[in-house]
Amino acid sequence: MSSTLTDDHRDDIKSVFQAPAPTEVKGVVGRLTDLQAVMEQFGGRPNNPVASFNGLYTTITQEVEARLAVNGFQDPDFMIALDLRFAERYFRALQDWSDRSTWAPRCWSALFNKWNDDDMAPILGAIAGVTAHIRFDLGAALVRAFKDIQGSVVAATPEQIADYKVLNEIFAQEIPQLRRGMLEGNLLAGLFDKVTWNWDDLAQAETVTVARQWAWERAESLWPVRDDPDLYADQLVSLDGSTESLISTMFRLFDNWLGNYVLGSRSSGFWGTED
């Protein structure tokens, strides 16, 4: 069951984008935080599918900002450029969807169209958002970031490669507790955690690492056509379609009574709410 995303909701989203685009990671965190405040008002459900992803993304970006503040990267200029370009793609997708633009990526629209799905387990929205952002956005963001710093993804320095892999560590550090928060009160998830010890965390970290490596390889395939608008756009359109298909398949399999019950938290539709 879902409730309607009204024009007022869309206007609230648009209001966040009236401010100038972020030029530093701190600004990305600020915009994500502003969006979170707007998203949590929709349908009276703060853990709606899109807000769940946005909250996760905010936490990861805050950790990037914190590491930049203590010189935690070997090539900070590269990491800042990548963070800005990565966020830019998410913001543009959300803005285009809110404007009902035909340019809105299909893979992101698959998630955004579930915004007020009253029953969808929060973790499904988070997984869909991570899938769209890494699989569709990350390769293109890498290309733009390397162009910004006048570098090359096919001739990246050891420092840039090492910094890129630091994000794998951040995901491995932050995602388990975020996942458990989305499954809070779920007896099945609690039992699974006890049975598997920390193997589920390790498997999850490896999944993200593999996905981010795949995104780097997509950037390498995009790099030779970076200055050919038609060929570049064709590759992205194809990637958008395959990513949308993946997310839609996940929704078909799990966005149902059983899937949302198994993956839901006590604060989601099928588990009820805490007193």
Average pLDDT over residues 151-180: 91
Q: Is residue 227 part of a domain?
A: yes
Residue 108 in contact with residue 132, Cβ under 8 Å? yes
Q: Is residue 269 part of a domain?
A: no
Percent of the chain scoring above 90 in pLDDT: 65
pTM exceeds 0.75, yes or no:
yes
Q: Is residue 127 part of a domain?
A: yes
Q: Is residue 126 part of a domain?
A: yes
- Asked if residue 241 has pLDDT above 70, the reply is yes
Query: Which residues is 117 bridged to in the sheet?
Result: 2
Mean of the per-residue pLDDT values for the chain?
88
Q: What is the DSSP letter of 24?
A: S
- Asked if residue 275 has pLDDT above 50, the reply is no
Residue 224 in contact with residue 143, Cβ under 8 Å? no
Domain count, the chain: 1
Condensed to tens digits (0 to 9), the pLDDT of residues 21-61 reads 999 999 999 999 999 999 887 655 667 889 999 999 999 99
- Asked if residue 179 has pLDDT above 50, the reply is yes
Q: What is the pLDDT of residue 264?
A: 78
Please say whether the dihedral angle defined by the alpha carbons of residues 24, 30, 33 and 39, taken in this order, is positive or negative: negative
Radius of gyration for the chain, computed over Cα atoms and rounded to the nearest angstrom: 18
- CA angle, residues 45, 121, 42, in degrees to nearest 5: 20
- Asked if residue 130 has pLDDT above 50, the reply is yes
Q: What is the pLDDT of residue 195?
A: 63
Three-state secondary structure along 215-239? HHHHHHHHHHHCCCHHHHHHHHHHH
Q: Is residue 196 part of a domain?
A: yes
Q: Is residue 151 part of a domain?
A: yes
Q: 83 is in which domain, residue-wise?
A: 7-263
> Residue ranges of the alpha helices (H) in the chain?
7-16, 25-39, 49-69, 76-98, 106-112, 122-131, 139-148, 158-182, 187-196, 199-222, 229-254, 257-263
Q: What is the pLDDT of residue 45?
A: 66
- Closest of 134, 121, 145, 110 to residue 57, by C-alpha: 134
Condensed to tens digits (0 to 9), the pLDDT of residues 243-274 reads 999 999 999 999 988 888 878 776 665 665 55
N-terminal to C-terminal alpha carbon distance within the chain: 23
Q: Calculate the alpha carbon distances from 247 to 70, 129, 146, 161 in Å.
A: 37, 9, 28, 28
Q: Is residue 1 part of a domain?
A: no
Q: Is residue 2 part of a domain?
A: no
- Asked if residue 163 has pLDDT above 50, the reply is yes
**Predicted confidence band of residue 156 (pLDDT cuts 50, 70, 90):** very high
Condensed to tens digits (0 to 9), the pLDDT of residues 77-105 reads 999 999 999 999 999 999 999 999 999 99
Average pLDDT over residues 11-24: 92
